[in-house]
Amino acid sequence: MKTPFLDISMAGAIREAYKLGQEDEALEPIVKVDPSGRPRGRIGDGHSVIFYDIRGEREIELTRSLIDRDFRYFDRGQPFRLHFVTMITYDPSLDVGVAFPAEEQVRNTLVEIITKAGLRLAKVAESEKAVHIGFFLNGKNDAVFPGEDRFIIPSPQGVRSYAQTPEMSAASVAREVVSRIKDPAYPVVIANLANVDVVGHIEDRTAVLRAVETADAALGTIVEECRRQAVTLIVTSDHGTVEEWLYPDGSINTGHTRNPVPFILADFSGRDEKTVLRPNGELADVAPTVLELLALDKAAEMTGESLIVAPHARQRRPKIALLILDGWGLREDAYGNIIREARTLHFDALWSEFPHSVLEAAGGAVGMPDRTVGNSEAGHLHLGAGRRILLDRVKIDRAVEDGSFFRNPEFLGAIAEAKKQRKPLHLMGIVSHYSSHGTLDHLFALMRMAREEAVAELYIHGFIGRRGEKPESGAIYVEKVEQMGRELGLGEVVTIMGRHWSLDREHNWDRVEKAYRALVQGVGTRVLG
């Protein structure tokens, strides 16, 4: 057993971990214990759990480890029963209550329209972004449409941080894209290069520079083949990241940005007419533009508009490639702008040679609150949907404001079960002012609700990770949660860990096991509470 930090708060324990060289994202689990050394507030049989995260795909593995009766990825010991509620639908196959289920399926997306027209489509990405060109690009839909084939390249395995391998699998992705471009079976190819976004979340300037230049080199490989094969290439992005890698005070911004993203139409098909584009647009305009290039009608639901101004006469291109440079934003200011600092010869050549537009990729343009940053999920969703879609966070925020949040039957059911069984209620999720996974606002609303409903025991299990936050933000936000618990007289923070362990999506079950053992068995650095 590790020696507990005596007489220290959970926020204080995080700061002690900082001194030992740990950081938020990969913070080793910290658990609270009583004076006898027994872990407090562990998740156990008959308890009620609300997983309040709002994104979904990174939450599935941990949820399965807690609720699946036939779970086999690691030995959990004797299984137990939980009353488990998730904020949104993480996976329809999960046997859980869902507080805010999807209101309706997004239909007639870009991929659905293309495949229904009888055109085969190849999608290429490395595994880190497989869910984005699959589930999110298809309108938050797990279905693979007839005629849609996916070629997923494994991301590097066995590395603790992609700072060690900022190249990731970009070269292999580029080779696969070239192969699909050569293949006459696929008139449409959609691909994602992950480097800029994934590595941009790491505080390693050298690695981030290398990631940008690697993505540009892969772009060059794809451009060369598009020229040879007379392919019409579209280059765009889903959100910004490292073009604003420094805050004004010089600290590192590892998060996403509110900046616009590029749209380049590099038509190598040999047509004589010079295409003219609108100078500005938004991500929802990409799908209608692709459909116009394919001489296909956009769906009635698509409120986005084609960026093409002229020529008006539609003429189908023989082959189209849509390349998403994940995290590649546009910003004129050179301060902290690693995109501008890096050698991006291939991107710069395309930008100067071909028609281009600047697209809004944050805030209201992607269904989020005004002046909030973009993210990969909202970005790919809007690239594929061709319309603005109100995201879960906005709907839940509105429910908090109008009071319906506090009447939600799934939340009330979890609370009622906890009271009936005389067992604790657990709140589990991201601890952040703003994250694509969730917000403190939703956690605080649940804490207030538990207080109003006279819950006897309330335990909080928080996951931290500095993406778009100032240094040591994890300790700051955990401190706010502890303060809220004191003000309410209810709600004890008993587990904190980096999101690296709890929010995996690559089937790294060793990470999930570490999170599980902290939550259930109290394995971790122990803090006396």
pLDDT at 107: 93
Q: How far apart are the first and last CA of the chain?
A: 16
pLDDT at 313: 60
| pTM for this model (two decimals) | 0.78
Question: Is the Cα torsion angle 498, 504, 508, 514 positive or negative in sign?
Answer: positive
pLDDT tens-place string over residues 375-390:
999 999 999 999 999 8
pLDDT tens-place string over residues 513-529:
999 999 999 999 999 87
Q: Answer whether residue 2 shows pLDDT above 80.
A: no
Q: Answer whether residue 198 shows pLDDT above 90.
A: yes
pLDDT at 338: 98
Determine the average pLDDT of the residues in 474-503.
96
pLDDT at 142: 85
Q: Answer whether residue 370 shows pLDDT above 90.
A: no
Rounded to whole angstroms, how far apart are CA atoms 362 and 380? 12
pLDDT tier for residue 41 given thresholds of 50, 70 and 90: very high
pLDDT tier for residue 7 given thresholds of 50, 70 and 90: low
Residue 48: CB atoms within 10 Å: 26
* 65 Cβ neighbours under 8 A, 6+ residues apart: 71, 73, 74, 76, 512, 513, 515, 516
Regarding predicted confidence, which is higher, 43 or 142?
43
Residue from 92, 86, 91, 81 nearest 60 by CA? 91
Helices 409-421 and 440-452, axial angle in degrees (round to 10): 50
pLDDT at 326: 98
pLDDT tier for residue 437 given thresholds of 50, 70 and 90: confident
pLDDT tens-place string over residues 411-429:
999 999 999 999 999 999 9
Residue from 265, 209, 274, 261 nearest 234 by CA? 265
pLDDT at 48: 98
Residue 505: CB atoms within 10 Å: 15
pLDDT tens-place string over residues 58-96:
999 999 999 999 999 999 988 899 999 999 999 989 999
pLDDT at 1: 42
DSSP code of 243? G
Q: Answer whether residue 185 shows pLDDT above 70.
A: yes
pLDDT at 5: 54
Residue from 474, 459, 430, 466 nearest 31 by CA? 459
Q: Answer whether residue 6 shows pLDDT above 60.
A: no
pLDDT at 129: 95
All domains of the chain in start order, with CATH: 10-101+394-528 (3.40.1450.10), 110-388 (3.40.720.10)
Residue from 230, 313, 215, 311 nearest 262 by CA? 215
Q: Answer whether residue 445 shows pLDDT above 70.
A: yes
Least confident window among 56-65, 190-199, 265-274: 265-274
Across the chain, mean pLDDT equals 93
pLDDT tier for residue 118 given thresholds of 50, 70 and 90: very high
pLDDT tens-place string over residues 201-247:
888 999 999 999 999 999 999 999 999 999 999 999 999 999 999 98
Helices 509-516 and 60-67, axial angle in degrees (round to 10): 60
Q: How much of the chain exceeds pLDDT 90, in percent?
A: 81
Map residue 249 onto helix, strand or coil: coil
pLDDT at 102: 81
pLDDT tier for residue 475 given thresholds of 50, 70 and 90: very high
